[in-house]
């Protein structure tokens, strides 16, 4: 058993980062659908962004990522820029709050994300 003082900040906030090999598997699977929009509701430091860039099938997709942690959101945004995912936007906010707010406006929150990524 670990005491709270022995836990990392990531563990204390419930952060779990998807391994790149799993993100790559999912990105290859999604690439077959040729999406014009991709929503990443908790992008962390950008493993899925890396995977999408590696797959190479997402250059025309509007990618909207959400991350609660400001530092991790900044890392993900830098990563997207370095990877030349030009239509990617990383928002430092709670995805669920954003979705509820947009659903309350009578619209589809995923449709709203296309305006965000422009």
How would DSSP label each residue in 76-108? HHHHHHHTT-TTEEEE-S-HHHHHHHHHTTTS-
Cβ count near 100 (within 10 Å): 11
Inter-residue contact 84 to 60 (CB < 8 Å)? no
Work out the angle between the directed axes of helices 70-82 and 47-55 (0-180°, nearest 10).
Answer: 10
pLDDT at 43: 92
Residues of the chain with confidence (pLDDT) below 70: 1-15, 104-118
pLDDT at 31: 93
Q: Quote the pTM value.
A: 0.73
The C-alpha atoms of residue 78 and residue 98 are separated, in whole angstroms, by 22
The gap between the terminal CA atoms of the chain, to the nearest Å, is: 47
pLDDT at 1: 57
Tell the CATH topology of 17-116: Rossmann fold (3.40.50)
């Amino acid at each position: 058993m670990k005491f709270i003082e022995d836990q990392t900040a990531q563990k204390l906030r419930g952060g779990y980062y998807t391994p790149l090999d799993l993100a790559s598997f999912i990105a290859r699977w999604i690439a077959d659908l040729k999406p014009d929009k991709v929503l990443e509701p908790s992008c962390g430091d950008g493993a899925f962004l890396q995977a999408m860039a590696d797959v190479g099938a997402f250059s025309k997709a509007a990618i909207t990522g959400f991350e609660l942690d400001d530092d991790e959101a900044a890392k993900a945004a830098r990563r997207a820029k370095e990877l030349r995912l030009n239509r990617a936007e990383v928002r430092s906010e709670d995805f669920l709050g954003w979705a509820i707010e947009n659903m309350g406006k009578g619209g589809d929150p995923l449709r709203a994300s296309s305006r965000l990524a422009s």
